Amino acid sequence: MATKLPETMRGQFLHAYKQPYQSRIVPIPKPLHPDDVLIKVDAASYCHTDYVLAQGQMPGLPNSFPHIGCHEFAGTTVSHSAHPSPDAAKFKIGTRVGVTGRAFHACRECFECQGSKDPIAQDEKGYSVHCTRAENNGISKDGGFAEYAVVDARQLAPIPEKLSAVETAPLMCAGITIYAALKRCQLTPGDRVAIMGAGGGLGHLGLQYATKMGFKTLGVDAADGPLNLARSLDTGAQIVDARSEKAADVVEQLGAEDGKRDLGEKGVDAVIILPESQAAFDYGMTLLKSHSKCVIVSFPEAGFHVSSRDIVFRDISIIGSLVGSNKTLREMLDFSAQHGIRAVAKSFPLSELNALVEDYHKGGGGKLVVDMALDGQ
Ligand SMILES: [Zn+2]
Ligand SMILES: [Zn+2]
């Protein structure tokens, strides 16, 4: 056990839906379960899901109010339970860790934990990010918008030396989500992928991953801020303004570049849908060549309208992508460190979380991150 921890911590709490966060001082939570690790939070990133949850539109609602949000954060190990499990003991005091909110206290016994059928989300037998009985930090239980958090050692990934906590936090949901979605496209270097919503939190990371993976990448967006951000990255991806360029014209141009003449062979091999709009979905479907994949990451309340003709006549597969396994998480962090992949992020102190949310609604693109080092200076 660590010593000299303070008794209390500051956190930003949601007291009800559709209300701003409120700062409160509460006792520091205790690691009680053998897999538990108490971390001092160093950085906590804001995700669209935090907004969806605060609006009361999230399946898997908080167990109770007041509630601490944030399911993508990073911190430093400060203590364990009285009898740490081998998984928890691996994280020695002082180890820097990234936390993804998925699968806190995965049960080890459900069909998912005993062997998920999904190779990208599958871990060793006994743990699954899809565990049907697990909780999720920042969603059903408390998350990272506080100075300390109890996390499950099996959720964690050690932070590579080259990455800071502020760089790591946005990768723990946005990074792993887009990285796993790209893996689900099953492309080989030289293939074409389009990312709808390329200037957003996930999209701008996707542009970096996709180009570093060797794919010919098309980044599509439909607003000035995100388009400027996507262009500023200088990834080598082709950036398309969906407001002024028609999908059919883009397909023609790609066909000419690839020396293809028949309509079904022109276009991209996979598209990833990040926005919630039907227009973005339709645009993405038009970009696809026959026998290609549409990977959906967003989940608008009203769903998407899908044309059966696209699926039947053009043989387009539509698949969903939620998260990656802990194994994929570690791979993603190493890939990010190795290739210099970083979220374009703006930092706020914890005390200004509501100002961060206001900034989020301005829609400038990129990620917004609470940097704990900015408080109390
Ligand atoms: Zn998220
Ligand atoms: Zn389980």
Phi–psi pair at 5, nearest 5 degrees = -80, 145
- CA of residue 176 to ligand 1 center, whole Å: 9
Please check whether residue 334 lies inside any domain of the structure.
no
Say whether both 80 and 210 belong to one domain.
Answer: no
The enclosing domain of 278 has a CATH number of 3.40.50.720
More confident residue, 335 or 55: 335
Dump pLDDT digits (tens) for 347-360. 999 999 999 999 99
Please check whether residue 124 lies inside any domain of the structure.
no
The whole-number average pLDDT for the span 329-351 is 97
Q: Which residues surround ligand 1, an ion (CB under 5 A)?
A: 47, 49, 173
Q: Which of 286, 129, 264, 160 is nearest to 218 (CA)?
A: 286
**Within 10 A of 234 (CB to CB), how many other CB atoms are there?**
8
Say whether both 209 and 311 belong to one domain.
Answer: yes
Say whether both 154 and 208 belong to one domain.
Answer: no
Please check whether residue 109 lies inside any domain of the structure.
no
Say whether both 350 and 292 belong to one domain.
Answer: no
The enclosing domain of 64 has a CATH number of 3.90.180.10
- CA of residue 95 to ligand 1 center, whole Å: 24
- CA of residue 152 to ligand 2 center, whole Å: 13
- CA of residue 238 to ligand 1 center, whole Å: 26
Say whether both 78 and 36 belong to one domain.
Answer: yes
Ligand closest to the CA atom of residue 274: 1
Please check whether residue 1 lies inside any domain of the structure.
no
Query: Could you tell me which residues come within 8 angstroms of residue 196 by beta carbon, excluding any fewer than 6 positions away?
Result: 203, 220, 221, 271, 272, 273, 274, 275, 280, 281, 283, 284
Please check whether residue 331 lies inside any domain of the structure.
no
- CA of residue 48 to ligand 1 center, whole Å: 6
Please, how many CA atoms are within 13 Å of residue 346, restricted to the half-sphere of its CB?
16
- CA of residue 46 to ligand 2 center, whole Å: 27
Query: Could you tell me which residues come within 8 angstroms of residue 305 by beta carbon, excluding any fewer than 6 positions away?
Result: 278, 281
Identify the sign of the CA torsion 156, 160, 164, 168. Answer: negative
Say whether both 41 and 15 belong to one domain.
Answer: yes
Ligand closest to the CA atom of residue 202: 1
Please state the domain count of the chain.
Answer: 2
pLDDT recorded at residue 122 = 84
Residue with tokens 């599509």: 220
pLDDT recorded at residue 357 = 97
Q: Where in the sequence is the domain holding 263, given as residue range(s)?
A: 176-320
- What does the buried/exposed string (b/e) look like for 251-268 if buried means 16 or more CB atoms within 10 Å of the residue's CB? beebbeeeebeeeeebbb
**Is the pLDDT at 203 greater than 80, yes or no?**
yes
Please check whether residue 300 lies inside any domain of the structure.
yes
Say whether both 153 and 19 belong to one domain.
Answer: yes
Question: What gap in Å lies between CA 118 and CA 122, rounded to an integer?
Answer: 6
- CA of residue 33 to ligand 2 center, whole Å: 16
Say whether both 186 and 307 belong to one domain.
Answer: yes
Question: What gap in Å lies between CA 274 and CA 200, rounded to an integer?
Answer: 8
Say whether both 68 and 203 belong to one domain.
Answer: no
**Is the pLDDT at 215 greater than 70, yes or no?**
yes
The whole-number average pLDDT for the span 231-237 is 95
Please check whether residue 126 lies inside any domain of the structure.
no
Query: Could you tell me which residues come within 8 angstroms of residue 251 by beta carbon, excluding any fewer than 6 positions away?
Result: 263, 266, 267, 286, 287
Say whether both 33 and 151 belong to one domain.
Answer: yes
Please check whether residue 61 lies inside any domain of the structure.
yes
Say whether both 250 and 210 belong to one domain.
Answer: yes
- CA of residue 298 to ligand 1 center, whole Å: 11
The token pair that represents 186 in the structure block:
């099953």
Say whether both 210 and 315 belong to one domain.
Answer: yes
The token pair that represents 335 in the structure block:
């890939």
Dump pLDDT digits (tens) for 109-144. 999 999 877 778 888 889 999 998 999 999 999 999
pLDDT recorded at residue 63 = 67
